[in-house]
Amino acid sequence: GYIRGYVPGVRENGGQYTHGAVWAAMAFAELGENERAWELLRMINPINHARSIEGAAIYKVEPYVVAADVYALGQHIGRGGWSWYTGSGGGVERAIVRMPPGPGPPSRQADLSPPPARAAAAALPPP
């Protein structure tokens, strides 16, 4: 198939194919293996590829955009590809919002409320 058209280490042919990796993270969450799911999402997170000047020079794409793939062979290891041209960003958002923050069964509803200490600190006095 078309995968043979990619050199080894690129996209589905041995590189990080982000769309599939996001689905893998969601599958681990569905199985209740949330720590493994978060581990995958941390690996996918573009900002983690560009935490240093050296990392950004290797990644070569925007650190605020989920790349469709990250190369995994030779002189291009760690280089992002196809940014702004992937549905993976929506998948990452979906996975993060749907997954609970720690170990436990998967959640179908995200609780985006601030922790009690922050909620109290941010409360405004009544008019």
For the segment 3-16, the average pLDDT, to the nearest whole number, is 69
Q: Is the pLDDT of residue 46 over 70?
A: yes
DSSP 123: P
HSE (CB half, 13 Å, CA atoms) of 27?
A: 6
Report whether 84 contacts 65 (CB < 8 A). yes
pLDDT tens-place string over residues 61-97: 999 989 988 888 888 889 888 888 778 888 888 888 7
Please report the pLDDT score of residue 59 as a whole number: 93
Q: Where along the chain do its domains lie?
A: 2-122
Residue 25, classed as helix, strand or coil, is helix
Q: Output the pLDDT for position 54.
A: 95
Beta-ladder partners of 83 = 67
Q: What pLDDT does 122 receive?
A: 55
pTM: predicted TM-score of the whole model, two decimal places? 0.68
Helices (H), the chain: 18-30, 34-44, 46-49, 53-59, 88-98, 116-122
Tell me, rounded to whole angstroms, the distance of Cα 107 from its chain centroid: 18
Residue, of 1 and 47, whose pLDDT is higher: 47
Q: In the prediction, which pLDDT does 104 show?
A: 47
Which tens digits make up the pLDDT trace of 13-44? 667 788 889 999 989 888 888 889 889 988 88
